[in-house]
Structure 1
Amino acid sequence: MFKPITIKDIAQALDLSPSTVSRALSDSYEINEETKKRVIEYAEQHSYRRNPMASSLRHGRSYSIGVIVCEVANSFFSQAIDGIESVAYGKGYHVIISQSHDAYEREVVNIQHLANRAVDGLLISMSAETKDFSHIITLHEQGLPIVFFDRIIDVFDTHTVTSDNKKGAQKATQSLIDRGFKKIAHLANAPHLSITAERLEGFESALRANNIPLNESLIRYCHHGGRIQREVEEAVRYFLDLDERPDAIFVASDRLSMGCLSAYNKLAPKAEHPAIAGFSNSDVLDLLQPGFTCIRQPAIEMGRVAMEMLIQLIESRYPVYEFENTVLETELISR
């Protein structure tokens, strides 16, 4: 039977006290460098891993972080998770990832499950269907540190990390206008999401700057965030049935961009496809539509910043009353 090496085993092998070994592994200033080196080298050679249960009992922490995203397969979120993990593991925390699949019920169950597992904090990107935030507010009131990233809410004060959605949407829409398109539609995410309002604002701003009237009938919302492909196909069919079809579409998210291109490939011949620009961190979309112009968010950096903020909340010895709303720049990828 596998039996992991313990601090007592290391202490016995090196003729040190268990407390000395523990402090050496924690890089304590009380232990000289030579002893630290001996302990760390021996621990690495024998695959020592900190016992999370013991650490939890000693420090009152589980050293685990819960992360809620809509979908790990989404390129943006998989990249954000890379950033999250790079910081978490470097600080001695483990990450437990849950997917809401943009469903409110799944988000509630997953968040409650993570809380029951006594995670030290939560990183949350809201699902497209969530309008009732009571499940999150309750945990906040109970003292659980929570940080929001990408899709944020403002029901209580905490750190948030987003990208500049308005400016990104402006750049994407402007790229279509610069190519000569005038009848530009907008395929938007669920209307109550923070990113939806910001990206719509950027879309409208670009139209105004170029003296193009806003046509409300060319804006369609996907309340399930693209989780249900039928909903995306209905929006595309709506555009195809218009007397004056849009010659271009600004699409508000990675999943919607994929769904929109797939719907057009299914419902209309290539010659009838509009130009499309939108938010995407995936390189796959360029295979579906060569020349696809996209807004790329700094997903890895967003994950890093969000995790650093959460660990700051977790490890603070005093109540935190000042919070940061960090906004990161986007990049236009024009192929």
Structure 2
Amino acid sequence: MQKKVITIKDIARMLGISKSTVSRALAGRTDIHPETKKKVIELAAQLQYEPNTLAINLKQQRTNTIGVIVPETINRFFARAVGGIQKQAEMAGMNVMICQSNESYISEKKNIQSLVSSRVDGIIVSISTETDRSDHFTALTEKGIPLVFFDRVFEDVEASQVVTNNYEVAMEGTEHLIGQGCQRIAFVAGPEHLQNSRGRLSGYLDALRKHNLQIKDSYIVHAYYGSDKVEEYTRYLLNLPQRPDAIFAINDYAAIEMMHMMKKTGLRIPHDVAVLGFNNENLCRFTEPSLSSIDHPAHDIGVSAAEILINHIRHQDMKPEKRVVKSKLVIRESTQIK
């Protein structure tokens, strides 16, 4: 036999008081007599009363759910970011719906539509590499749906964002290579329309200018973050008339594939070509040589994004916020020449 669900109406009938009095007592309100509140709470516990969260959320016009859109769930950076989002959401008593755009603008738009149809209270997103238009995000903000970008953001959308110090850390990484004696530093940048890619490229270029090193367009390669063309652009760089003596890679997986190819051709790392990655994946410690990388604090970025979104949901008049979570350079064997 199915157990009877206890309602506020049952508690009110048993105590001979109104439903509104029971509701106020369970909500911790102070505008009722302490003795009455005590009786309500004790009887609710005795009857194992559980609030109808669906009814409460509908009354508040909330689902208590936030949506998250990431380019890839298999990418460890985004997996760690989602972990941070889920941790913060769980602490706030909220659920998380996760969507994957697969680096596709079309899929990203469909993700948005699905989350809006599911009546999520707000959305956290890192845009796909194909996304160069912001109309679907502008439509969200016009509907009053809270939106927070993280890592890959749109500057022209009035929404909160959580980013890292791409410019500063790219400059620091490039200066580290210069400090090791490297003069011909190649840079594998991300798509030109993405804000984080532009920040990293600017940091690299300004480091070269600061140290009076020649900027060569042939040493700059634009690639997608999930590119399958690592072998192609590695061969291109190694076959230049003046081969680079250092490569600042777009991410650690690209850096490791490049190192593998270079070693097969007999090049020594870092003595012939130094290699610097980005993201500081766990496997950086176990490559041969171990890979220097930029530690990108994905979990902390996710926590910050969720924290800001939850604040937006609870305080609808809150202004957009930009938060910077700092990355840092981790030096290992692949760049230690001196």
Render the CA deviation track for 1:59-104: whole Å, top value 9, x for unaligned: 1001100011112232222222222122211112111111112221
* 1:299 paired residue number: 298
**Is the 1:248–1:275 contact (alpha carbons within 8 Å) kept by the matching residues of 2?**
yes
- Offset at 1:21? 7.2
Asked if 1:259 is matched to 2:254, the reply is yes
Match 1:330 to one of 312, 327, 332: 327
- Offset at 1:300? 2.2
* 1:199 paired residue number: 200
Counterpart mapping for 1:1-335 below 5 A: 51-222=52-223, 224-226=224-226, 228-229=227-228, 231-252=229-250, 256-266=251-261, 269=264, 271-272=266-267, 274-317=273-316, 319-320=317-318, 322-335=319-332
Higher mean alpha-carbon deviation, 112-121 vs 73-82, is at: 73-82
Q: Unmatched 5+ residue regions in structure 1?
A: none
- Offset at 1:178? 2.0
Question: Please, what TM-score do these two structures have when normalized by structure 1?
Answer: 0.83
Q: Distance in 2 between matches of 1:89 and 1:7?
A: 26
Q: Distance in 2 between matches of 1:29 and 1:207?
A: 65
Question: Please, what TM-score do these two structures have when normalized by structure 2?
Answer: 0.83
Render the CA deviation track for 1:150-184: whole Å, top value 9, x for unaligned: 11112222211111111111121122222222111
Q: Secondary structure at the match of 1:313?
A: helix
**Is the 2:237–2:243 contact (alpha carbons within 8 Å) kept by the matching residues of 1?**
yes
**Is the 1:10–1:42 contact (alpha carbons within 8 Å) kept by the matching residues of 2?**
no
**Is the 2:141–2:158 contact (alpha carbons within 8 Å) kept by the matching residues of 1?**
no
**Is the 1:128–1:193 contact (alpha carbons within 8 Å) kept by the matching residues of 2?**
yes
Q: Distance in 2 between matches of 1:212 and 1:123?
A: 40
Q: How many residues align?
A: 324
Q: Secondary structure at the match of 1:96?
A: strand
Higher mean alpha-carbon deviation, 275-284 vs 157-166, is at: 275-284
Higher mean alpha-carbon deviation, 98-107 vs 261-270, is at: 261-270
Superposition CA RMSD, Å? 3.4
Render the CA deviation track for 1:240-284: whole Å, top value 9, x for unaligned: 2212221211123xxx33034225525751632632213214111
**Is the 1:67–1:97 contact (alpha carbons within 8 Å) kept by the matching residues of 2?**
yes
Q: Secondary structure at the match of 1:113?
A: helix
Higher mean alpha-carbon deviation, 75-84 vs 267-276, is at: 267-276
- 2:248 partner amino acid: F
Q: Distance in 1 between matches of 2:153 and 2:100?
A: 16
Q: Distance in 2 between matches of 1:137 and 1:115?
A: 13
Pair 1:139–1:271, CA change in 2 (3 A): same
- 2:305 partner amino acid: A
Pair 1:28–1:221, CA change in 2 (3 A): farther
Render the CA deviation track for 1:169-202: whole Å, top value 9, x for unaligned: 1121122222222111011111110100000011
* 2:335 paired residue number: none
Pair 1:85–1:185, CA change in 2 (3 A): same
Higher mean alpha-carbon deviation, 167-176 vs 297-306, is at: 297-306
Higher mean alpha-carbon deviation, 133-142 vs 59-68, is at: 133-142
- 2:187 partner amino acid: H
Higher mean alpha-carbon deviation, 279-288 vs 240-249, is at: 279-288
**Is the 1:257–1:280 contact (alpha carbons within 8 Å) kept by the matching residues of 2?**
yes
Pair 1:324–1:17, CA change in 2 (3 A): same
**Is the 2:168–2:203 contact (alpha carbons within 8 Å) kept by the matching residues of 1?**
yes
Q: Unmatched 5+ residue regions in structure 2?
A: 333-338
Q: Distance in 2 between matches of 1:5 and 1:72?
A: 39
- 1:242 partner amino acid: L
Q: Distance in 2 between matches of 1:265 and 1:47?
A: 62
Q: Distance in 1 between matches of 2:216 and 2:6?
A: 67
Q: Distance in 2 between matches of 1:29 and 1:265?
A: 68
Higher mean alpha-carbon deviation, 79-88 vs 166-175, is at: 79-88
**Is the 1:236–1:263 contact (alpha carbons within 8 Å) kept by the matching residues of 2?**
yes
**Is the 1:63–1:93 contact (alpha carbons within 8 Å) kept by the matching residues of 2?**
yes
Q: Distance in 2 between matches of 1:290 and 1:10?
A: 70
Render the CA deviation track for 1:118-163: whole Å, top value 9, x for unaligned: 1111111111110122122222212211111111112222211111
Pair 1:25–1:248, CA change in 2 (3 A): farther
**Is the 2:230–2:257 contact (alpha carbons within 8 Å) kept by the matching residues of 1?**
no
- Offset at 1:110? 1.2
